[in-house]
Amino acid sequence: MVGHFAIDNLQPGLRPAVLVCHEGSGLGENAKGRAVRLAGLGYAAFALDYFGDGKAPPRDEAMARLGVLMGDPQLTREMALAGLHVLLEQEQVDTNRVAVIGYCFGGAMAVELARTGADLAAVVGFHPGIGPPNPTYSRNIRASILMCCGADDPVVPPERRVEFEADMKEAGVADWRIEVYGGVGHSFTNPLASEMGMPGFAYDATADRRSWRSMLDLFAEKLRN
């Protein structure tokens, strides 16, 4: 697996760490760029690659690989744990201050990582793929959860958000929330989303800015204290 590790080497001492899970199209510039932005803010960030070749594959190949993971939550959890292990092995990382963020299916992967009971302070999903409820595993979640969704996302319709809410309640997850942005579709953080030519996929600068700010506010609360 080939990921992308970003850090500001001018900063002394250990940094809080963030694992970045890319969107369903593969490890592209959006996820790598987010890792670099986080590094500039004083975090150690590792963008894992759950497809395995360090770049975005052709769409058909990406969808085939994605289909395997969508049907196998255990494999998804194992791959997320492998990426987390790489991040925690870096000598600059404060292993007591760790978060995970994810885009599209990466958001689902971030939640699955939390469901392993991993010692995470925060989990953030951006236009996340929200999988079926799983209260048995969700009871293992120790992190604060933030899901940032577009109200018009064709991938995650309102009923999926309701199912996620019910899952969090049934599992007794202590701290979770969903932010919903009106008039916003899928892949709203990706400036190249419209080039995919898929209905309901579009970049939205306002939702991108607001969701990033919400993430930073959560990190300030959970990783900076």
Give the DSSP per-residue string, the chain.
Answer: ---EEE--TTS-S-EEEEEEE--TT-S-HHHHHHHHHHHHTT-EEEEE-SSSSSSPPPHHHHHHHHHHHHT-HHHHHHHHHHHHHHHHHSTTEEEEEEEEEEETHHHHHHHHHHHTT---SEEEEES-------HHHHTT--SEEEEEEETT-SSS-HHHHHHHHHHHHHHT-SSEEEEEETT--BTTT-TTGGGG--TTB---HHHHHHHHHHHHHHHHHHT--
Question: What does the chain come to in residues?
Answer: 225
Residue 216 and residue 41: Cα distance in Å, rounded?
A: 10
Nearest to 111 by CA among 97, 121, 123: 123
**41-69: average pLDDT:** 89
Split at pLDDT 50, 70, 90, the class of 11 is confident
Instruction: Indicate the pTM of the whole model.
Output: 0.96
From CA 63, how far away is CA 127, in angstroms rounded? Answer: 17
Which is higher by pLDDT, 55 or 207? 207
For the chain, which domains are there? 4-222 (3.40.50.1820)
Question: With bands split at pLDDT 50, 70 and 90, how would you rate the model's confidence at 188?
Answer: very high
* 58 CB-near residues (< 8 Å, 6+ apart): none
Give the chain's mean pLDDT.
94
For 53, 59, 63, 83, the CA distances from 56, given in Å and listed in that order, are 8, 8, 11, 17
Residue 126 has pLDDT above 90, yes or no: yes
pLDDT tens-digit series, residues 73-88: 999 999 999 999 999 9
pLDDT tens digits, one per residue of 135-175: 999 999 999 999 999 999 999 999 999 999 999 999 999 99
Is there a contact between 127 and 148 (Cβ–Cβ < 8 Å)?
yes
Percent of the chain with pLDDT over 70: 99
Q: Which pLDDT score is estimated for 1?
A: 67
More confident residue, 72 or 195: 72
Position 174: which residue type? Answer: A
Binned at pLDDT 50, 70 and 90, residue 59 comes out as confident
Give the mean pLDDT of 7-35.
Answer: 93
Angstrom distance (rounded) from CA 144 to CA 139? 13
The per-residue pLDDT for 60 is: 87
